[in-house]
Structures are given as C-alpha cells and as structure tokens.
Amino acid sequence: MKLLLVGSGGREHALAWALAASPLCDTLYCAPGNAGIAQLAECVPIAAEDIGGLVRFATENAIDFVVVGPEAPLVAGLVDALDAAGIKSFGPRRAAAALEGSKGFMKDFCARHNIPTAAYGRFTDIAAARAFVTAQGAPIVVKADGLAAGKGVVVAMSEQEALDAIDMMMADKAFGSAGAELVIEEFMQGEEASFFALSDGVTAIPFGNAQDHKRVGDGDTGPNTGGMGAYSPAPIVNKAMAERIMAEIIRPTVAGMKAEGTPFTGVLYAGLMITETGPRLIEYNARFGDPECQVLMMRLKSDILPALMATGEGRLDRYDPIWHDSAALCVVMASNGYPGSYKKGTEIRGLDALADNTRLVVFHAGTARDDAGRLLANGGRVLGVTALGADLAVAQKNAYDAIAQIDWPEGFCRQDIGWRALASLKKGN
Ligand code: AMP
Ligand code: GLY
C-alpha cells in the first residue's frame, strides 16, 4: 500500500515508525515530516494545513490511505476533502473534530448526553464572563473556545487571576479569534490521565492510556508546555477504571455523535480527571497525544495499519489490539528557553551511537539536517527519547541512560518524568 502521513512532530515520527514496520506498507510519504521521519519515509514539502495541496498530492500519487496526525487539518476539514476525492483516511471529519476544535461544542454535547464533566458557562460577552466569575468565586478555570495550541487554559486559584485571564483572552485577544468565546468551568480535583479509544463511528475500543507532564520544570512546576514527557500505562487506570471510562464517557460519546449525525471516526483522546466520584472529562482531542503517541506506539505489539484502516472503514468490531506487557516512558528534550523564546539551528550529536531498536527509539519532534548532514534543532520540543522496560522504573532508567549519551548543550529535559506514577507504585496504590 501507498500511505501518506500528515504532520511533522514527535507524534508523527512515532506513527511513521509504526507504519513503516507494517508488512502492508510499501511506500510511506510524509507531509511535511522532519529529519527523523526522513529516515523512514519520503518527506514532501506540503504543510499539514494545506488541504488543497495534500488532496492533490494524494490524488496524483494514487495514495491508498492517509493518516492525519495533528488537529489543525482535521478541524479545517482535511478528511472531508479526502472523502470528496475518494481517498480513504484515518481521522474524524470536521464536524466530529469539533469535539476538540470547540470547547463550547464539547461541553454542550456532554450536557446533552450526560457525560460527566465540569459544570460550565459559555460567554461571548466580557461583562457576563466577569459577573459569572464573581458569582462563582475561585478556584475556577477559564478557557478559550477555539484551538490555542494547548495554551488557552488558565486554572485560576484566585478570582483576580480569573478576571485577568478573561481580559487577556477577550479584550487583549491573546489567542485571536479562538478567544472570542470563553468557557468558564468548575475546578475539578483529582489525578489526571489520558485515555485513548479508536472509534469507527459505531464501535469504540480502548487503545491504551498514559499520563503526561505538561509543566516545563521538575516537580511539575513552571509554565505549561505541549508536554515534557509521558509514560504508559497509567497506574491509576486499572482494569475497572478503564471499563468505567468506556461505559461512562467513551461509549456515550460515540453513540451521541452518531445520533447527532456526526459520527466520530478516528482516535478519541480523553483528557480525564480521576476524581473521588469517578472519571470526569476535562477535554477531548480528536488525535493522538504528543508525546503520548510515542509511548503507545512502542507498547503496541500489533500492526498499527490494520487498526487505523479498520477505524476508517467501520470494521473495529473485529479488531483486538495486542500490547507488550512492558511499560514505556518518553522524555522530551527541548531547546533551552522553551516554552519561551529559544534559538534554532543548534547541533545535536551522539544519536548515531544510540542505534534504535525495539526497546529504545529517539523520536524527532523538531529537527532538520543542514547540507553537510548535521542534525540541527529546529523547534521548541526537539527529541522524544522513548524506552521500554519490564516496569516503569526500568523504562525510566533506560530513557535517561540514553539521554546521558546525547551531546546537545543547547537543550534540556526534565529529570523526573514518571515521578508521580513511581511514587504511587512504591506506596502500593
Ligand atoms: P486542557 O487544555 O483543557 O487540557 O487544560 C489544560 C490543563 O488545565 C489540564 O491538563 C488540567 O491540568 C487543567 N484543567 C483544565 N480544566 C480543568 C478543570 N475543570 N479543573 C481542574 N483542572 C483543569
Ligand atoms: N500531550 C498533550 C497533547 O498532545 O495535547
């Protein structure tokens, strides 16, 4: 088969790694890809948001199946455009990707279908938003409605912080049109976990779980990032909890989307708060997480391609993925300064000595090669050093042992990825 993968981050390198290993894959293209993906796929310089360019490429090259990594093209209607051109793909259509693309849509949908999530209000008027915060008090959570690259959420511990967040999003338009509408919601207490399910529009199956570290600093301190590391499985999502998540959140969502005429096909990524009363939805994403995808792909024993094709073709009722018993852990290496401003073009050495194998893979998130073939950092998050181990502690050691061999003075990583899970496993929880 001829495949086209869309995207250029660590998530897409992990998908490329899994797709390239499929016996069904003859040719793998990636648009636009990165230096790591280029070792596995033929990279073509088409932006992930260039819907017309992607459909044209897929048509001209007789692509059999397109796998869409990031949210922006999904929300912009790439899958709809591919469908119209008769090209099969993995990912939700635009109307279903609204579960991620509009927080207001997601909250109203959950209310219509009794899916447990935080109580909320939707606001397009700044005075009404302020009045709601004053009436509810803190802690309270202020969110821009639209896509804001993971930065459109302020968890306000004081009323003033919440009022400032409203001003930043609505008056100062910090996130542009994404902040024209706000969702303001109840603060939920508990432990967070990411849960993944494949949905073909009718049938949903669990597809792994993970936890990530969003803060830039050790001990989960400092500003939020796209994710500084992740591990799978998440100890808090035991078998009973996974079944509750499927029964109370995932299946009602898939049934509700179908009933409303916008069936969800693709991967549903539920960001959850595991509270005292059970799992509650923080947010939905319509794609794999990054760096969660990196740990999921290393744990997946089955061929990924039949799973993605069954999702796109409504055949998930006959699919049962097999996972390695091992744990996986990914540590992200980022450019010094991230998530603030950082330098591009610094050289990374030492990766060649880390011959990739099935237990250790250095996924590239933001890399490029210069004319001399040197590997350069080309983004904020740059590498995702991902290791398997018999348990989380071993996976963590394997990842950090590999990092010790990477020579990149202009980069950094957190030293404690996995700490919460390791602490709770030690306590025997
Ligand atoms: P989101 O972009 O919606 O995933 O939110 C980013 C982060 O904000 C989440 O990972 C949570 O840590 C936090 N958060 C979002 N909504 C809530 C909420 N209602 N209660 C507590 N924390 C929240
Ligand atoms: N790691 C968080 C995300 O992909 O949204």
Distance of CA 4 to the CA centre of its chain: 19
Q: What is the pLDDT of residues 247-300, one digit of tens each?
A: 999 999 999 999 999 999 999 999 999 999 999 999 999 999 999 999 999 999
Tell me: pLDDT of 203 over 80.
yes
Decide if 367 contacts 35 (C-beta within 8 A): yes
Over residues 173-177, the mean pLDDT reads: 83
CA atoms of 161 and 11, how far apart (whole Å): 33
Nearest to 311 by CA among 373, 267, 357: 267
Cβ of 139 below 6 Å from ligand 1: no
pLDDT tens-digit profile of 341-397?
A: 999 999 999 998 887 667 999 999 999 999 999 999 999 999 999 999 999 999 999
The structure tokens listed for 49 are 């948001």
Q: Is the CB of 118 under 6 A from ligand 1?
A: yes
- Confidence at residue 354, expressed as pLDDT on a 0 to 100 scale: 84
* Total-model pTM: 0.94
Q: Which ligand is nearest to the CA of 144?
A: 1
Tell me if 231 sits within 8 A of 327, measured CB to CB: yes
Walk me through the domains of the chain, giving residue ranges and CATH numbers. 2-95 (3.40.50.20), 125-180 (3.30.1490.20), 191-318 (3.30.470.20), 327-428 (3.90.600.10)
- DSSP bridge pairs for 206: 197
Instruction: Compute the distance from residue 413 Cα to the ligand 2 centre, in Å.
Output: 17
Q: How far, in Å, CA of 8 to CA of 70, rounded?
A: 9
Given a cut of 60, is residue 100 above it in pLDDT?
A: yes
pLDDT of 428 strictly over 70:
no
For atom 7 of ligand 1, the residue with the nearest CA is: 153
Residues 179-216 as b/e (b if ≥16 CB within 10 A, e otherwise) read bebbbbbeebebbbbbbbbbbbbebbbbbbbbbbbbbb
Q: Residue 411: name the closest of 386, 381, 389 by CA.
A: 381
Nearest CA among 400, 82, 410, 427 for reference residue 218: 400
Whether the CB-CB separation of 216 and 222 falls below 8 Å is answered with yes
What is the pLDDT, as a whole number, of residue 318? 85
State mean pLDDT over 18-46.
Answer: 97
Asked whether the predicted pLDDT for residue 175 surpasses 80, the reply is yes
Rounded Cα distance between 255 and 271, Å, is 19
Of all protein residues, the one whose alpha carbon is nearest to atom 12 of ligand 1 is 192
Q: What is the pLDDT of residues 59-79, one digit of tens each?
A: 999 999 999 999 999 999 999
Q: Say what percent of the chain tops pLDDT 70.
A: 98
Residue 403 pLDDT > 70: yes
pLDDT at position 152, please? 84
Residue 247 exposure: Cα atoms within 13 Å on the Cβ side: 7
